[in-house]
Chains A and B, each alone.
Chain A
Amino acid sequence: SAVISQKPSRDICQRGTSLTIQCQVDSQVTMMFWYRQQPGQSLTLIATANQGSEATYESGFVIDKFPISRPNLTFSTLTVSNMSPEDSSIYLCSEEGKSGHHEQYFGPGTRLTVT
C-alpha cells in the first residue's frame, strides 16, 4: 500500500480565514480523493482530483468553498475557504491502490477546529 502523508496534522483557525491542506503520496497515482469526517460522523467524499483536469465535486460541495489543486501525480491540496465553525472536521485524502481491486488507502487526516 502507498504511504500517504498530510500537512498539517491539526490546526485551529479563526472564522473567515482559509486553510490549505497538503497531501503527498509516495508513488504516482491517477486518482486522489478528499473526504470529510465531521465529529461523530462517518466519511463523506468532497471531491475527486485527477492530475491535469478539474476536480469533480460531490453534491453539496463547491469549488469556491473547497478549491483543489493537483499539480502532479503525487501531490494534491485542498483549501477550506472562508471558514466557519461548521467546517470543523477531520479532512482526509486517499488514493486508489494499484492492485486493480479499487481499494483506497487513506492519509492520517488533518483535524481542523474553527473558532
Chain B
Amino acid sequence: EDQVTQSPEALRLQEGESSSLNCSYTVSGLRGLFWYRQDPGKGPEFLFTLYSAGEEKEKERLKATLTKKESFLHITAPKPEDSATYLCAVQADGGTSYGKLTFGQGTILTVHP
C-alpha cells in the first residue's frame, strides 16, 4: 500500500528564515510526486510535479527536490503570505486505481513578520 509521511506537522518561521519540509514515501512504482499548497477553506493548489530521483523544480521562494525515498520542499526567505498547509502526494505507476493521489497529512507552515 502506498504511504506518504510528512514532517514536521507544524512549522513556525520568522520572515526571512529559510527551512525545509520533508515528505517520505513508499510506492510500488512512482509515476509522480506532487506538492500542493492549501489555504484555509480552499482546495489544494498545485505547485510541482517530480518524476525521478535527482529532479528539482523551483517557483519563486519554493524549491522541490526528489530522492528515491523522500522529497523536500525548501522555502527560502519566506514571507507571511507563504503561510499555508503544504501537502505532498504520490501517484503510483500501474495498479487498479489509475490517477489516484495518496496524500500525506500535510505540514502547517506559519511565517511571522
State the A residues within 8 Å of B (CB). Answer: 1, 4, 31, 33, 35, 41-45, 48, 56, 58, 92, 94, 96-97, 101-109, 111
Contacts and interface: CB of A to CB of B under 8 A. Distances in A.
Nearest to A42: B103
Interface stretch (B14-22, B38-46, B67-75, B76-84): B38-46
A48 B98 contact: yes
A58 B1 CA distance: 13
Contacts of A41: 105
A58 B32 contact: no
A102 B49 contact: yes
Nearest to A57: B97
Contacts of A111: 41
Q: Which 10 A-B pairs have the closest CB atoms?
A: A106-B43, A42-B103, A43-B103, A106-B44, A42-B105, A108-B43, A45-B100, A109-B43, A102-B32, A103-B46
Nearest to B104: A42
A43 B97 contact: no
Contact of B42 (A48, A94, A101, A108): A108
A43 B91 contact: no
Contacts of A103: 32, 34, 46, 49
Interface string B74-111: 00000000000001010100001111111111100000
Contacts of B105: 41-42
Contacts of A45: 97, 100-102
A20 to B, nearest CB: 19
Given A41-B105, A42-B105, A43-B87, A31 B99 contact: yes
Contacts of B45: 106
Interface in B2-43: 31-32, 34, 36, 41-43
A8 to B, nearest CB: 14
